[in-house]
Chains A and B, each alone.
Chain A
Amino acid sequence: MDAILLSFGLAPLAAKIISMVIICVIVLLAFVTIGGILTLVERRIAGFMQSRLGPNRVGPQGALQWVADGVKLILKEDLIPDGADRVLFRIAPYFCLVGIFGTMVVFPWGQGVIVADLNVGLFYFISITALVVFGVLMAGWSSNNKWSLLGGMRAAAQIVSYEIPVGMSLLVPILISGTLSMGGIMAAQGWLPWDWMAFRSPFTVLSFLIFFIGSLAEANRTPFDLPEAESELVSGYCTEYTGFRYAVFFLSEWANLFVFGGLTTAVFLGGGNLPGVLEGYTILSVLVYLSKVAVIIFVVIWLRWTLPRFRIDQLMTLSWKYLLPGAFIAFLGQALYMLMTQQIPIVQSVVAVLMFLVFVFVLFRFAIRVRVNMSEQRIPVNSPASDVS
């Protein structure tokens, strides 16, 4: 980018700044698009699960619904409630936005496709997403609304609690790969499922599960969506927000979903690794990566529309009594396991394949269960009511 600008005869510093701005705009637009599309995807999947259609009017199959929603939100008045802390109220959404969009810097889109492969990439990732807490807490406090305040408090308590097990469970892949850089962790895995971090040993499976559950809670997704529990806290910390600021919260929430899927894929599910013969086809690598992310996102959305939510005390119990000790066990266990099997790599490979087979078996059992459920249905679930009468 710099080189192109320099060829126009710009001064080096100006070229640098302009190229940075351009990259920033691209990043912003990319995440806005992803966040927007995910809102649509979520609503369509929800519709599918609930025997209804979901948005299908704007554009082909409702594909442009998110644009219409965005335009509508931007055209709305930006209302600040009476008695609100105006400064905090105004800047709160941007903390959420920056917290999520900042991860773009170390986002590993595929083999070698990464903006900056920092040597502390994973650490940076965890740190910058912690900014979201500030945004949520500020929004809750400044709104001058008791429901918002409760929502903000809940969110702060929840995100801070769950960051610990999540951070602890991430230590396991770091232990295996010996690096904090996203590219390095991805490179330490292979393209086959048993080369992925998630299936290396029983302890990595445990840490993967803890990471997944903890990240769900950090992303405020059901069953951990307490901060904005609609039936309890009206709309949580964003109750008083309107227009563009609300859109910013909204976008960062769904962009967060993508970030969550991306991190899980990169750290535990082999990222965009390709078989040796296909090495170097970057586009293919990105596609592999994105398809894995899509699967994770689908699972998260699926969970959201299936499960009820926890109560605040149950949520804390889960984090401090189960996930945190579990994460410690995973970390220590993995360290011991690596020490013991260091000399005999064949054991490691066998265990990894075994773990993957267990996973496949669980999937298989689940599929059978679904089949039984579906066969018991006499009238198809999705038949319109008019078929009966």
Chain B
Amino acid sequence: MTSALKTEYLTINMGPQHPSTHGVIRFILKTDGEIIYECDPDVGYLHRGIEKIAESVTWQGFVPYTDRVDYVCAMNSNLSYCMAVEKLMGMETEIPKRAEYIRVIVSELNRISSHAVAIGAADMDMGAFTPFIHFLREREHINDLLEMVCGARLTYNYICIGGVNNDVSPTFLSKTAEFLDHFEVVVEQINRLISYNKIFIGRFADVAVVPPKMAIDYNLVGPNLRGSGIKFDVRKDKPYSVYSDLDFDIPVGSGRAGTLGDCYDRYMVRVEEIRESIKIIRQCLQQIPEGETKAIVKSTIKPPKGHVYFRTETPRGDTGYFLYSDGKTSPMRLKIRTGSFTGMSIIPEIARGVFIADLVAIIGSLDIVAPELDR
């Protein structure tokens, strides 16, 4: 028997000014009451044409722009670009050892702060405001540390082609060690406050399951991929810088609260990566040698003709820089491959048939950062 009542889906516009679409992300939802029938992401609200800008600035002049590609983890973006240029110029081996260690220390610090924001924002979207504030407080410490290094708190422009801009002070190293001792405890405390909370697990477990095959099909990277149980990390599988000398694990999701690849797995992978980053920084602090921090690089560089693709592991996952040089002072073409974009592209698939409240959980657990998404 068919109903005489005509029913239709409710079309709701979520964003770009919605409180839980951090930054400017927009979804057009077709819902049946509160259950999402179709979710259509609309990207591009934060597009600044960074890739095009690259074609009109010098090779070194583009480093500050990489800060803006992903301002939650600017150091990692710096590192990614600079290493790509170094590879293009064939000077990977000329980078001083001390510079490599400093690069790893600052980018892992930045990874911690980025994951802290990601975890905190996910908590806040679930209605728990306090853990977010606590994570921001801890992030202040990291901002202070990085300010000691380079004078900036968010967009650093610290890592440069050929090394790092200036040496770090012994105080920075000791303060970092002190901070790690403090933060290791704090993470566990905040975990007890929120990550192991039964209501929170109820919200995240079994929601938006991404099976391993789907994760590969949609080209998920970083913690989102590892949340689906696939052990892939550029730092380990294609080691760059000094990561091959360091001992650390790659946390993967195991379906500890529900199904493998659910929101909770992705969330917990980030929490565990914070611990691994702490481990990495501790090793670096012990092994860091004395010496130069910058190789000799001309003020105007002209890399040889050719192209290169270089991948690093940023907090958002496998970030790749494709550079095409025609031997001039600026890149002929530059393309950035980011993790947020693939994270965004999987949302229509996994957000079908979930509640609106779950969509918020999905955005939070995929850690989508608007500037990186749109560049």
With a cutoff of 8 Å between Cβ atoms, the chain B residues found around residue A154 in the complex are: 34
Q: How many whole Å from B113's CB to the nearest CB in chain A? A: 12
Cβ B199 vs Cβ A307 within 8 A = yes
Q: How many whole Å from A387's CB to the nearest CB in chain B? A: 9
Neighbour of B124 across the interface among A231, A233, A312, CB < 8 A: A231
Q: A150-B34, A308-B200 are in contact. Are A376 and B189 (CB under 8 A)?
A: yes
Residues in B72-130 with C-beta less than 8 Å from chain A: 123-130
Q: How many whole Å from A292's CB to the nearest CB in chain B? A: 26
With a cutoff of 8 Å between Cβ atoms, the chain A residues found around residue B140 in the complex are: 385
Q: Does A223 sit at the interface, judged by CB under 8 A?
A: yes
Cβ A306 vs Cβ B34 within 8 A = no
Cβ A308 vs Cβ B133 within 8 A = no
With a cutoff of 8 Å between Cβ atoms, the chain B residues found around residue A306 in the complex are: 128, 130, 193
Q: Which one of A49-57, A277-285, A345-353, A360-368 contacts B?
A: A49-57
Closest B residue to A373 by CB, please name it. Answer: B189
**Chain A interface, number of residues (Cβ within 8 angstroms):** 40
With a cutoff of 8 Å between Cβ atoms, the chain B residues found around residue A388 in the complex are: 141, 144-145, 175, 178-179, 182
Q: Does A314 sit at the interface, judged by CB under 8 A?
A: yes
Q: A232-B20, A234-B19, A309-B127 are in contact. Are A389 and B357 (CB under 8 A)?
A: no
How far apart sit A229 and B126, CA to CA, in the bound complex (Å)? 9
With a cutoff of 8 Å between Cβ atoms, the chain A residues found around residue B244 in the complex are: none
Binary B-proximity of A369-389 (CB < 8 A = 1, otherwise 0): 000010011110100011011
Residues in A183-226 with C-beta less than 8 Å from chain B: 222-223, 225-226
Neighbour of B130 across the interface among A234, A305, A376, CB < 8 A: A305
Q: A232-B20, A385-B143, A389-B144 are in contact. Are A225 and B175 (CB under 8 A)?
A: no
Q: Does B337 sit at the interface, judged by CB under 8 A?
A: no
With a cutoff of 8 Å between Cβ atoms, the chain B residues found around residue A314 in the complex are: 199, 202-203
How many contacting A-B pairs (Cβ < 8 A)?
A: 114
Cβ B203 vs Cβ A311 within 8 A = yes
How far apart sit A153 and B31, CA to CA, in the bound complex (Å)? 15
Cβ B185 vs Cβ A377 within 8 A = yes
Cβ B203 vs Cβ A222 within 8 A = no
Q: How many whole Å from A135's CB to the nearest CB in chain B? A: 21
Q: Does A310 sit at the interface, judged by CB under 8 A?
A: yes
Q: Does A82 sit at the interface, judged by CB under 8 A?
A: no
Q: How many whole Å from A309's CB to the nearest CB in chain B? A: 3
Closest B residue to A377 by CB, please name it. Answer: B185
With a cutoff of 8 Å between Cβ atoms, the chain A residues found around residue B129 in the complex are: 46, 50, 305
Q: A234-B19, A377-B185 are in contact. Are A229 and B130 (CB under 8 A)?
A: no
Cβ B358 vs Cβ A385 within 8 A = no
Q: Does A86 sit at the interface, judged by CB under 8 A?
A: no
With a cutoff of 8 Å between Cβ atoms, the chain A residues found around residue B12 in the complex are: 146-147
Q: A306-B128, A310-B199, A389-B148 are in contact. Are A51 and B20 (CB under 8 A)?
A: no
Closest A residue to B361 by CB, please name it. Answer: A311
With a cutoff of 8 Å between Cβ atoms, the chain B residues found around residue A232 in the complex are: 20, 356-357, 360
Neighbour of B18 across the interface among A52, A234, A307, A385, CB < 8 A: A234
Q: Does A77 sit at the interface, judged by CB under 8 A?
A: no
Q: A150-B356, A312-B357, A385-B141 are in contact. Are A307 and B133 (CB under 8 A)?
A: no
Q: Does B309 sit at the interface, judged by CB under 8 A?
A: no
Cβ B134 vs Cβ A50 within 8 A = yes
Q: Does B10 sit at the interface, judged by CB under 8 A?
A: yes
With a cutoff of 8 Å between Cβ atoms, the chain A residues found around residue B137 in the complex are: 51, 381, 385
Q: A232-B356, A373-B192, A377-B185 are in contact. Are A51 and B133 (CB under 8 A)?
A: yes
**Chain B interface, number of residues (Cβ within 8 angstroms):** 47
With a cutoff of 8 Å between Cβ atoms, the chain B residues found around residue A312 in the complex are: 34, 355, 357
Q: A50-B130, A232-B360 are in contact. Are A307 and B147 (CB under 8 A)?
A: no
Q: Does B181 sit at the interface, judged by CB under 8 A?
A: yes
With a cutoff of 8 Å between Cβ atoms, the chain B residues found around residue A146 in the complex are: 10, 12
Binary A-proximity of B143-186 (CB < 8 A = 1, otherwise 0): 11101100000000000000000000000000100110110011
Q: A230-B19, A231-B19, A388-B175 are in contact. Are A378 and B182 (CB under 8 A)?
A: yes
With a cutoff of 8 Å between Cβ atoms, the chain A residues found around residue B197 in the complex are: 307-308
With a cutoff of 8 Å between Cβ atoms, the chain A residues found around residue B128 in the complex are: 306-309
Neighbour of B358 across the interface among A50, A310, A311, CB < 8 A: A311
Q: How many whole Å from B41's CB to the nearest CB in chain A? A: 17
How far apart sit A222 and B199, CA to CA, in the bound complex (Å)? 11
Q: A50-B133, A313-B355, A386-B144 are in contact. Are A308 and B203 (CB under 8 A)?
A: yes
Q: How many whole Å from A315's CB to the nearest CB in chain B? A: 10
Q: How many whole Å from B26's CB to the nearest CB in chain A? A: 14
How far apart sit A230 and B141, CA to CA, in the bound complex (Å)? 28
Cβ A231 vs Cβ B20 within 8 A = yes
How far apart sit A199 and B127, CA to CA, in the bound complex (Å)? 32
How far apart sit A379 and B143, CA to CA, in the bound complex (Å)? 17
With a cutoff of 8 Å between Cβ atoms, the chain A residues found around residue B134 in the complex are: 50-51, 381
Q: How many whole Å from A294's CB to the nearest CB in chain B? A: 21
How far apart sit A232 and B38, CA to CA, in the bound complex (Å)? 17
With a cutoff of 8 Å between Cβ atoms, the chain B residues found around residue A223 in the complex are: 127, 199
How far apart sit A312 and B199, CA to CA, in the bound complex (Å)? 12
With a cutoff of 8 Å between Cβ atoms, the chain A residues found around residue B127 in the complex are: 222-223, 225, 229-231, 307-309
Binary A-proximity of B1-27 (CB < 8 A = 1, otherwise 0): 000000000101000001110000000
With a cutoff of 8 Å between Cβ atoms, the chain A residues found around residue B186 in the complex are: 377, 381
- A-B complex: 5 closest residue pairs judged by Cβ atoms: A309-B127, A385-B140, A389-B144, A231-B20, A50-B133
B→A interface (CB under 8 Å): 10, 12, 18-20, 33-34, 123-130, 133-134, 137, 140-141, 143-145, 147-148, 175, 178-179, 181-182, 185-186, 188-189, 192-194, 197, 199-200, 202-203, 355-358, 360
A308-B123, A389-B148 known, 9 other contacts, Cβ within 8 Å = A229-B357, A231-B19, A231-B124, A234-B18, A306-B128, A311-B358, A314-B199, A377-B189, A389-B145
